[in-house]
A = this chain, B = another copy of it.
């Protein structure tokens, strides 16, 4: 890659990070190119689609989240480890308005540059989830894709409500993954 091309690439990435953070994942690509001091054609030359730009911008931080999951596998408490990872992931996603929507919808398209990112995060979550399940903290029907979807839903809701309510709602969702004790089920009332 030529030196000037590399410089343009880096500047585009930096401005994309700012724009996506401030205006969400639907931020204007023309504005990103403008602020990076390059032509819109240059942006498209490096990143053929919005998703490609998003993926490049997120690559490092997603790698870090996956590494965090790895580390948390050695945390003494499987439940606490799962909760911490879910919180960190939801917090990261909600930093970019619209990201949860972009991510979850990219799961429908194997060719999306974000598809791999979602797969990696789901796989990382799976190991934490299975460990918590082995400790009796997670019900049988809850899969790794369910947890990934819930984290995305928590990130989405966090974009729209107060931090306090956002934290509470994530906690509710994770509690929803716990096994439902048989004693609270009643024939006359299947519960809420």
Q: Which residues of A contact B (CB under 8 A)?
A: 76-80, 82-83, 86, 101, 104-105, 107-108, 132, 135, 137-138, 141-142, 145-146, 149-150, 152-154, 156-157, 160-161, 165, 168-169, 171-178, 180-181, 183-184, 188-192
Known: A105-B160, A149-B165, A156-B157. 19 other contacts (CB 8 A): A77-B190, A78-B192, A79-B190, A80-B189, A80-B190, A83-B190, A101-B160, A104-B161, A137-B191, A146-B168, A149-B157, A150-B169, A150-B172, A153-B156, A171-B176, A175-B175, A175-B176, A175-B191, A178-B184
Report how far A156 CA is from B149 CA in the complex, Å: 10
Report how far A104 CA is from B181 CA in the complex, Å: 32
Residues of B within 8 A of A150 (CB): 157, 169, 172-173
A79, A83, A135, A188 — most chain B CB neighbours (10 Å): A79
Residues of B within 8 A of A142 (CB): 172
